[in-house]
Amino acid sequence: RLLRAAPAIGPASCHKKESRYAHPSWIASTAFGTMSLRCLGLCGVDDSVDVDLLALLGTRYLRAEFGVLFREGFEGQPRYPSEQWVRDLATISARASPPLRLSAHLCGKRLSDLLDRGDPSWVQQQIVPLGFRRVQVNATLANGVDLSSHARAIENLLAVISEVREVEWIIQANDETTRLWEPLAKASEPPANVALLFNASCGVGDAVSAAYPAMPRNGIRCGYAGGLGPGSVVDAIRALRAGVARGRAIWLGMESGLRSSVDGRDAFDMAKAAAVCKALEAEGWEGRALVGETVPPPPLPSNVSVSGHPLLSHKLTLLREQSTPSREFRSLLREVTFHLGYEATMRLRTSRRSDVLAPSGPVPPEKALHVAETVALVPVMRAGLGMVEAMLELLPNAVVHHLGMFKTRTGQPIEYYSRLPRDSACDLAFVLEPFIATAATVSAAVLKLKGWGAGRIAVLSVLVSRTGLHELQKQHPDVTIHAVQVDEELRGDVFPGLGDIGDRQFGTPAGSPISRNVYAPPFQEAGAEERSFGGGSPAKRARLTPLSAPSGPKREQPVTRVLGDSAAYNDSEGIPPPEPTEPSATQLTTHDGAFGPAPVRMVWGAATPELRGPVVATRRHPNQRNAIGAHSGGYSIYRALAVVSQSLDEAYTPRLGMTTPVARIGPFSKWADARAIVTLDPYGHAISEGFAPWLERGYDVRPTIAVTKAHIELPESREALRLGRLCADGAVLSPDGQSFVTKAAIEPVWHLPGVAERFGVSEQMLRESLFKETNSMYPELLTRNDLKLFLPPIGGMTVYIWGDPEKISDESVELTVRVHDECNGSDVFGSDICTCRPYLTHAIEECIKTAQRGGTGVVVYFRKEGRALGEVTKYLVYNMRKRQEGGDRASEYFNCTKEVAGVTDTRFQVLMPDVLHWLGVTKIHRFISMSDMKHDAIVSAGIKIVERVEIPPEMVPKDAQVEITAKVFAGYHGGKAYEGARDKATLDAVRGRGYSAATSYRESVMEGDGDTGSAQGAAQGAAQGAAQG
């Protein structure tokens, strides 16, 4: 396994797939020699040395690695650099090309905290962003750590290693640290990002007289340290090459041997560091093979063509040279690509022409040939862009299709851009990828092109690693590969390689603070620990510990079951395995048909949960998500704040077993009608029952409906009891005025094709409008037409049920219903400008009476504040109404709303009946509403309404007469009680209280008179006004 000897971490698949080309035994017999020195650790750099000098040394000797010791409380002392010095080193490192090799050595409290809590936050937030790619665990007494006091050290360390896979973790291997390193040395499959440093001196720098210990046979990377310096390093490397490290790639580390006393102060000696580097260069970083030992590498696959042209080798050498400026690099890449493409096009299919006329006469068809294939050039952005121009010179009629892919820190390829036309596949596609390392990205590109329908595929690459070459050939043996050279080893920064080809082409050094504008200090300010990532007290960290695992046999069983036989699965084996979140990747958007996303199958309106599939909308399964948006709508913003403040562990999975419904609702026939319910998930309250096999597989499926019960206490109910309008029965209504209810909270889940059909528009028009009016918040509305579900950032609804919920679907049982739209000012605070609270409490009273008669009462409370225009807009309308010329007039009631908002109402009741279908409603005996829009929407949905009940006139507040009069005059149902409101004279006579331009409290509080008239008629209103006067 070649990657076992690499400093960087490749994808897990590269470690688990056996290959005879990737075994350490092969490395031992290659032409690399008997041992390779992968890097040289120069440790203990500190404020005593200028960072510019380190940069000069590091760019001259690319295998030199500078070790920085981090020990809290020791900053600024010899061997422990100050905060500012570390920042300066990180800056100069990022600007170097390639960046300097940096390793962080954890000591003292920093390491003790990591071993105690298993919390890698400090490393993730403070070390990794500065460019450190290796972290050494110095768990010895000399480094301020007593390993015997850390009972769970190995468990916590393994958890950290697993979580922070973007760095290589180095464990000091000596007698003190046996508990840490021995399990790793004995493991058959040690973590890919772990290495051992054999240092018998336990970090004190004494020379080691004992023989160097043998390296484990499980492929784990190893290094050696202990008393090394300019005078001993050559003997050490010779002994290792002839002994235990023969045939392996190792590194050497040294610290004390690089120190000197300067003016009585312990200092890092640059002269000694340079001497060590010179000595090793003279000895050879790559050991020479002994005579007779060299075994040629395995032969290249038959579909691989490696050019042996000396000019190409010459130009590739110039490309490798780190001093080559970007302009020359681009020019050389074009030249190499042109010649490589010339060789790659040798087998283009041609056809004969019989219409070619030369100056001397007709050209015979066998000599008049032209390319007969349609050719596409597919550069893998961004590195592949530099190869396009040269290939277009060869094939000017070829089309260019850009493909954007990046590889995450764990090696997973993610597509971020694709412009492959759906119905125009080519005969031959050339994939342009200048360098192939693990082949993960280019393999994904080839797979994408195969799915597109390309007839043949060829890969053009300037340089390939042997590991990547064989991996690509193994996955795609039908693809031809053309390259200039093959590197025999794959290393973390592609060494020797070419560096980052994209950065070198476009002059953007990887990790440069100038280009990233992201810089995190490695040290905390005083008192900042609680505010920063990785800080906080142990108590705070304890709050972030997940309470339950997301999958496995320990999943809680639902306490109640409401779906019956419909929850049974005939075949759960077809559920695909869940793909985990890639923590290092943040995708701006995704595209349908792109490589990577594979949404869970969703058949909206299917008869059972098994046939339909779950709504998957969490971050845990980004590629398998089948919905746009986030759970909890606008409240997802607060979840983000909880995560960023470390109040919530983003990996937390809820416990659902005891959250199941308290009452049986459904299933009903309309649940299987894709057109009847388009704004909510009918199975949203029974996730742990209906989608149990998915949860057991490890999917994070969240409920969108919760059904519970409560006792409601309203002053209006107590007043109705006192006046005798209500009677306590001890079941529905208690003597103290409490009523018992079943209630359900519902979050919206929109099926976009169904919502579009309700509005009589195309799905594409709906998607475009949603995208534009949310200021481009949800690009997947346009890029993912395969995702048909949308979780809009709007409020949901709450259903309150008095009486038995299971009787709702029985048409023979009386059912009273009110559909109420939120009005915070009236419903909660009792504002008298509208009828909302009086009508709501009247409906509750009627529901209680119905339940006491053996029926069921239902109030559906929608979060549609201010006619779904919002509370701010509503208050603006109030001000306009009260200040307009002539005062607050019923005749101008709707006009004022339109003047402010541009529309009078955006509640769109056409979507409202879905919740009634979810409840199983087919017939409403008493509908407590005067709204014709609500009535017509319900009837149009196939639900019968027997009687409409208006609000009693005596319950209408005096300032709400404007509203009720305007609504009845506009066509709202008013019954006999409001016949007078249909008269134009009544409309003109009704006035509400007015506002002046006064803003002082003394004047403003005295305003409010001037209301006249009543919705019951002008005469009655005048009489009522005189009586009040």
CA dist 127 and 605 (Å) reads 50
The CA distance from 34 to 413, in Å, is: 35
Copy the structure tokens of residue 690: 């209906």
- Looking up tokens 């015997």, which residue turns up? 148
CA–CA distance, 379 with 430 (Å, rounded to integer) = 8
Pairwise CA distance, residues 891 & 64, whole Å? 84
C-alpha distance from residue 831 to each of 94, 825, 826, 839 (Å): 62, 5, 4, 13
For residues 897 and 981, what is the distance between their CA atoms, to the nearest angstrom?
20
Give the CA count within 13 Å in the CB-facing half-sphere of 689. 22
Strands (E), 339-409: 350-352, 357-358, 361-362, 369-371, 375-381, 399-400, 403-407
**Alpha-carbon gap, residue 197 to 171, rounded angstroms:** 6
CB 802 within 8 A of CB 891: no
Helical (H) or strand (E) element with 1011: none
Q: How many CB atoms lie within 10 A of CB 573?
A: 6
Is 810 a known active-site residue?
Answer: no
Of 842, 873, 864, whose CA–CA distance to 951 is shortest? 842
The residue among 784, 816, 766, 790 whose CA lies nearest residue 919 is: 816
Q: List the catalytic residue out of 625, 907, 926, 993.
A: 907
**Structure tokens given for 1021:** 């209103």
Q: Strands 797-802, 856-862: parallel, antiparallel or unpaired by DSSP?
A: antiparallel
Which one of 113, 503, 905, 959 is the catalytic residue?
905
- Whether residue 820 contacts residue 857, with contact meaning beta carbons closer than 8 Å, is answered with no
Crossing angle between the packed helical segments 752-759 and 763-773, to the nearest 10 degrees: 100
Q: How many CB atoms lie within 10 A of CB 822?
A: 21
Q: How far apart are CA 1009 and CA 1007, in angstroms?
A: 6
Report in angstroms the alpha-carbon separations of 979 from 889, 950, 955, 984: 19, 12, 17, 11
Strand partners, 104: 68, 135
Alpha-carbon distances, residue 917 vs 672, 912, 922 (angstroms) = 11, 10, 8
Residue whose C-alpha is closest to residue 626's, from 607, 640, 612:
612
**Is there a contact between 179 and 147 (Cβ–Cβ < 8 Å)?**
yes
How far is it, in rounded angstroms, from Cα 855 to Cα 639? 40
- Residue 58 near residue 32 (C-beta atoms within 8 A): no
Residue 457 bridge partners (DSSP): 429
231: number of CA atoms within 13 Å, CB side? 4
The letter for the amino acid at 66 is F
**Residue keyed to tokens 């006579």:** 989
Tokens of 94: 């990022």
Alpha carbon separation from 105 to 24, 80, 753 (Å, rounded):
28, 10, 57
| C-alpha–C-alpha distance, residues 688 and 692, integer Å | 5
Q: Which residue has the tokens 């998500």?
A: 625
Q: Which of 804, 818, 810 is nearest to 854 (CA)?
A: 804
How far apart are the two ends of the chain, measured CA to CA in Å? 96
Cα atoms in the Cβ-side hemisphere of radius 13 Å centred on 561: 11
Helix ranges (DSSP H) in 752-833 = 752-759, 763-773, 780-783, 824-827
Q: Is 948 a catalytic residue?
A: no
Active site residues: 905, 907
